[in-house]
Structures are given as structure tokens and as C-alpha cells.
Amino acid sequence: MQSGKAKTRLWMLEFEPAAPKEVEPLMGYTSSKDTRSQVRLTFETKEQAIEYAERNDILYRVEEAHAPKRARVAYADNFKYDRRQPWTH
């Protein structure tokens, strides 16, 4: 499995849900009548996102990105004698 970093440096503007999601009684699908929750706008910089929100009178909250915690895993660990889970085949 590979974890790429494409498009992770963009700033995103997402709208807060205006209406709660509902479960459709016949099929059990989760739906909402709020179409703004489907909209996501991306910007190159945080300043551009803030400027857009202020220009269009949109209340906003800035959430800074956090560094991912990645565990170092080696392929050889799959064949260790003292594995946590035994081989199944």
C-alpha cells in the first residue's frame, strides 16, 4: 500500500450542514436536503480561502493540518517467528 501526498497541500472550504441527515425509511439510505454540504472548494493558499469566505460573507473556521503518524513497517515483519497473529495458510 502506498500513501501519496498529491493534493494534500491545498486548502479546502467546506460548508457546515444546515440540516441533519435522515434515513430514508423504504431503502434505508442516508440522505439530506442540504445541497451545500456536497460543495467543496479548494484554494492554493489559506489566505485565498479566507479572502473568498470574507468576500462572500461566509462564516469560517480554520483548521490547521496535522502531521500524520506513520508506523515504520518492514516487509520482513510478515515472516517473523513471534508474530501477533499466526499464519492462516
Residue ranges of the domains in the chain?
1-64
Q: How many helices (H) and strands (E) does the chain have?
A: 1, 4
CATH number of 1-64: 3.30.160
Report the run of H or E that residue 53 belongs to, with start and end: helix 46-55
State in Å, rounded, how far the first CA of the chain is from the last one.
21
| CA pseudo-torsion sign 65, 45, 6, 40 | positive
* Cell numbers standing for residue 9: 497541500
The verdict on pTM exceeding 0.75 is no
**pLDDT, tens digit, for every residue of 7-46?**
778 899 999 888 889 998 899 899 888 888 889 999 999 9
